[in-house]
Amino acid sequence: MNPSTSAKVTLSPRAMRLAAALEEWPRRTLTLAELWEVFAIADAASAMRPSRRTDLAEALEALTAAGLISCSHTKDTSVTPALPTRLKLPAPQPSPSAAAAAQAIAWRPELAWAASARLTLGQIGTLRLINDWLRDCGRDDDVVPLRERSLEVLGHEKRLDALLNTSLFAPGRLTLGLLRTFRAHPPLSTRRIGGGPVLLVVENADTFDTLTRVLTADPGDVGRVAWGAGAAFEASVASVLDVTEVRAIAYFGDLDADGLRIPASAHRRAAQEGLPPVCPAAGLYRLLLEIGVPQPGQTPVPHGKALELAGWLSEPLATRAASLLAAGCRLAQEAVGMRALQARTEVSEWQDGLAFP
């Protein structure tokens, strides 16, 4: 059944919470065992109740009537009531049930827009929790980190993280200020080597140590070298705000799918925070492609996706990196080690991309 054509169905708070949790499920199908896991999150208070199975069955019946799920014909009849062994979830979208639910809620003035917005049931359920929090805690003036607020209001520390780039945070809707919260920035480990305005971020610890020692003798425009700590840099890039002298950010990491995804993601986060762009340390990547020995055994990346991942690099580096990924190979940045760098008597051979524009 298509949710957009289903009749208006009044859903219980429990069914609303289950609908919201199912919208966050990463696949469009789930087994009964997986359903129990989702239900444990959506209705934790029912964990010890004898009626737990009946509660779930009633919620599933309501969601089916609302067109929000499809249940398999195969049932688990080992205990009554019978439950479907598999669910199919349509893509979340606004529905008559969601509109009816929104109109039935007494919204706080800050959320009055929710009564007429095109929202899914999951979004309505989330906003209802925020509405209750604003009602009960609206007079408080405490400002706490995002994940603390998320756990307090939504019951899970990462829920707000997932919502920040959704329509709930579109202009005129939710803001971090309304929720009296902020995104805490994990620290970025840096070492000062000169007085220049360029921050060089290095993905892995050993190459960070090597480049720090080599650049100390002739740092050029590099003032600091930072250890990105792998994927942690996607969040810790925001800590560059605390290093006021930084005017440019260069990055050097592995040439593999994650090694390219991390700086591209950090680049987007830097733009959101008003920071300088995260640019590739072109000379170091060029040296890595020159001397590195490809390591096979990676899952080949489809050509189009490989080009997308490598798009953060400049040409011709991007094309060469994409070919590497498509072939199921990678290059570890540790190939650009102490001996390789010292063998280049002219540091300009690999310092391309480290100069301040």
- Please tell me whether residues 138 and 216 are part of one structural domain: no
| Residue 28 belongs to domain with CATH number | 1.10.10
- Domain count within the chain: 3
Q: Which domain holds residue 136?
A: 96-182
Q: Are strands 86-88 and 29-31 parallel, antiparallel or unpaired?
A: antiparallel
The predicted pLDDT at position 139 comes to: 67
Q: Which residues contact 11 (CB under 8 A, 6 or more apart)?
A: 19, 62, 63, 66, 97, 101, 121
Q: What is the DSSP letter of 184?
A: P
Tell me if 4 is assigned to some domain.
no
- Please tell me whether residues 335 and 196 are part of one structural domain: yes
Q: pLDDT tens-digit profile of 206-260?
A: 999 999 999 998 899 999 999 999 999 999 999 998 888 999 999 999 999 999 9
The predicted pLDDT at position 345 comes to: 61
Tell me if 322 is assigned to some domain.
yes
- Please tell me whether residues 225 and 316 are part of one structural domain: yes
What are the beta bridge partners of residue 280? 251
Tell me if 173 is assigned to some domain.
yes
- Please tell me whether residues 205 and 176 are part of one structural domain: no
- Please tell me whether residues 318 and 239 are part of one structural domain: yes
Q: Which residue has the tokens 């490809």?
A: 294
Tell me if 7 is assigned to some domain.
no
Tell me if 8 is assigned to some domain.
no
Per the CB < 8 A criterion, the answer to whether 121 and 11 are in contact is yes
Given 182, 211, 244, the domain boundary residue is 182
- Please tell me whether residues 145 and 171 are part of one structural domain: yes
The predicted pLDDT at position 348 comes to: 65
- Please tell me whether residues 343 and 246 are part of one structural domain: yes
Residues composing the chain: 357
Tell me if 356 is assigned to some domain.
no
Whether residue 96 has a cis bond before it, omega within 30° of 0? no
Tell me if 120 is assigned to some domain.
yes
| Residue 246 belongs to domain with CATH number | 3.40.1360.10
- Please tell me whether residues 335 and 275 are part of one structural domain: yes
- Please tell me whether residues 121 and 150 are part of one structural domain: yes
CA distance linking residue 67 with residue 97, whole number of Å:
9
Q: Are strands 278-280 and 248-252 parallel, antiparallel or unpaired?
A: parallel
- Displacement of CA 298 from its chain's centroid (Å): 23
SS3 266: helix
- Please tell me whether residues 197 and 344 are part of one structural domain: yes
Given 134, 155, 182, the domain boundary residue is 182
Q: Are strands 83-84 and 181-182 parallel, antiparallel or unpaired?
A: unpaired
CA distance linking residue 218 with residue 193, whole number of Å:
9
Given 182, 216, 241, the domain boundary residue is 182
- Please tell me whether residues 300 and 258 are part of one structural domain: yes
CA distance linking residue 149 with residue 144, whole number of Å:
6
- Please tell me whether residues 49 and 197 are part of one structural domain: no
Tell me if 292 is assigned to some domain.
yes
Render each residue's pLDDT in the chain as its tens digit; 357 residues.
344 444 456 778 888 888 888 888 889 999 999 999 999 888 888 878 899 999 999 999 999 988 889 999 999 999 999 999 999 998 888 877 788 888 889 999 999 999 999 998 888 888 999 999 999 986 678 899 999 999 889 877 888 888 988 899 999 999 999 999 988 888 899 999 999 999 999 999 999 999 999 999 889 999 999 999 999 999 999 999 888 899 999 999 999 999 999 999 999 999 988 999 999 999 999 999 999 999 999 999 999 999 999 999 999 999 999 999 999 999 999 999 999 988 876 656 788 889 887
Task: Please give the single-letter amino acid code of residue 160.
Answer: L
